Amino acid sequence: MKENGNAPGFAIEARDLTKTYGNLVAVNRISFNVKYGEAFGMLGPNGAGKSTMMRMIYCRSPLSHGLLRVVGKDVTLDARAINGAVGVVPQENNLDPDLSVRDNLLVYARYFHLPRHIAEQRADELIEFAELQEKRDVRIETLSGGMKRRLMIARALLNQPKILVLDEPTTGLDPHVRLAIWEKLRELRRQGLTIVLSTHYMDEAEKLCDRLVIVDRGKILVSGTPRELIREHARHFALEARGCNGQPLHTGLPQVLAERRGSTHFYFAPSAEELAPLMKAYENHEVLLRPSNLEDVFLLLTDNERLI
């Protein structure tokens, strides 16, 4: 059913979104839309303004300028309604250490005014979703990092949100745990939940997001699907030569983009053929020819020492 007879519109609509702290511009006139059912990623280095944008979405950071509508509601006017319709997993776990796993969910459900029997039913379902059945009555401090993160996600789903907002969902977790969390998030995406996440992990963005923006210094540098971004900004193939201290980059080759990062030289081209001549030039080095990935896009866009 459509609200107010309007078109369903966007899950999130940001226009000229700006946040300043004194002289510091944390978010600088950013505009983007997130569609319902989409998994949308914000990728950027630390300090790029990702967390500030996330906080603006869940109404913890008032806008300095611009417009932000979440589930069709203005963040400056309707914070209460928005937070009722959004599930939030902040960067830092903030589970209640004084309560058990299940009580964490039950107490949190109260803040959404859920009746007791519904809260209990959802808590039990979500404990199962988070695979914490064995831990339901233990205190939070006995949980592993991965369990805590899963419980954070479970808690954010208590109000059956229209949008799940995750700020760096897997930062600091080991590879197995990250895979397990991604699996959970993909499951939610399949169910049609709108997901907005920030990350500085390229693989995470590539695996989870239908569409993403790369942000740096409060600005969106590029936006698109992971595939599009790689094609447009990092060609198709990459050649990586390690241990090239003091050697010059081979610049000026047709169709080839060259870049130095530390002692490693990078070359990007639309096909492997264009890179083949370079293989010889680096005969005595560790050389890797591979498809370009999101990390290349990211580093190409956020790096200042770029040479063409």
Contact 239, 217 (CB under 8 A): no
Nearer to another protein (CB atom), residue 76 or residue 121: 76
Q: 257 in helix, strand or coil? A: strand
Q: Which of 23, 40, 24, 22 is nearest to 32 (CA)?
A: 40
Strands 39-43 vs 211-216: parallel, antiparallel or unpaired? parallel
Residues 6+ apart with CB under 8 A from 139: 97, 99, 100
Nearer to another protein (CB atom), residue 43 or residue 114: 114
Tokens of 186: 């993909």
Nearer to another protein (CB atom), residue 112 or residue 293: 112
Whole-number Å distance between alpha carbons of 18 and 76: 13
Minimum CB distance to another protein, residue 158 (Å): 9
Minimum CB distance to another protein, residue 232 (Å): 36
Minimum CB distance to another protein, residue 93 (Å): 8
Q: Interior CA angle at 228 toward 227 and 234, to 5°?
A: 85
Residues that bind another protein (CB under 8 A): 58-62, 79-81, 83-84, 88, 90, 92, 94-99, 103, 107-108, 110-113, 156, 159
Minimum CB distance to another protein, residue 113 (Å): 7
Nearer to another protein (CB atom), residue 64 or residue 293: 64
Minimum CB distance to another protein, residue 294 (Å): 29
Nearer to another protein (CB atom), residue 156 or residue 241: 156
Task: Report the DSSP beta bridge partners of residue 223.
Answer: 213
Instruction: For residue 28, count other CB atoms closer than 10 A to its CB.
Output: 17
